Amino acid sequence: MTAVARRAAKLSHLSARGDARMVDVSAKPASERVAVAEGRVVMKPATLDIVQKGDAKKGDVLGAARLAGIMAAKRTHELIPLCHPLALSQVEVDVAPDARLPGVTVTARVKVTGQTGVEMEALTAVAVACLTIYDMVKAVERGMRIEGIRLVEKSGGRSGHYVAREG
């Protein structure tokens, strides 16, 4: 077996020749699948104060980030190559100011009944919500950091339940 063939056997997005391909999920049974992702935007306390008070020149930072995350989850297949378009049943995006960071913690929970998981949709929702926060207050602070974007939990499908370890 060639190196390409061995690698392709391990990665479902590669053909036997090593070419990228969309995975055929037609034989998989539909089941309820849920994914939760999180991330943070770390900023100075003064910037967080502007976000919390709603004093940003561009408007409601937290509301805009929440909507951007929901919209992004719905369009993940347009942004990430080889992702399947999914009819999502639910997308929840929570944007919570956190003085301990200081900054904003973003959490997304995405649910579908289908033949493939929604991890990418949850991660995309978090990433775009974080980018929206950055965009809306970058005039105040360009040194903000987007960090810690990760899958926290997923359930459903053949691989079962996953919960990330702390840290």
Task: Please identify every residue annotated as catalytic.
Answer: 135
**Residue 165 near residue 104, CB atoms below 8 Å:** no
Q: Which residue, among 106, 109, 112, 119, has the nearest Cα to 63 in the 3D structure?
A: 106
H/E run at residue 36: strand 31-42
Q: Three-state SS for 98?
A: strand
Burial of 116 (0-12, 13-18, 19+ CB in 10 A): middle
